[in-house]
Amino acid sequence: MQIDNETKSPKVEYKTPREVLLGWENAYNNRDPYDLIELYAEDAEVVQVAFGD
């Protein structure tokens, strides 16, 4: 997780739902499990920040 040095809070890049789905589709089509793991962790982090968990 990246930390914003100025605010000391997690730095999150927001993606549109289309960008999220295209990322998952590309990783699936490439059959790259490491891409899928990275996307899962990244998207789970965004959801946690959005819901305040």
Quote the number of domains for the chain. Answer: 1
- pLDDT per position as a tens digit, 14-51: 778 788 788 888 878 887 778 777 777 777 666 555 55
CB 43 within 8 A of CB 27: no
More confident residue, 1 or 34: 34
Q: What is the pTM (predicted TM-score) of this model?
A: 0.44
Helix (H) or strand (E) holding 39: helix 33-51
- Output the pLDDT for position 3: 66
- Output the pLDDT for position 37: 78
Domain that holds residue 25: 1-53
More confident residue, 38 or 4: 38
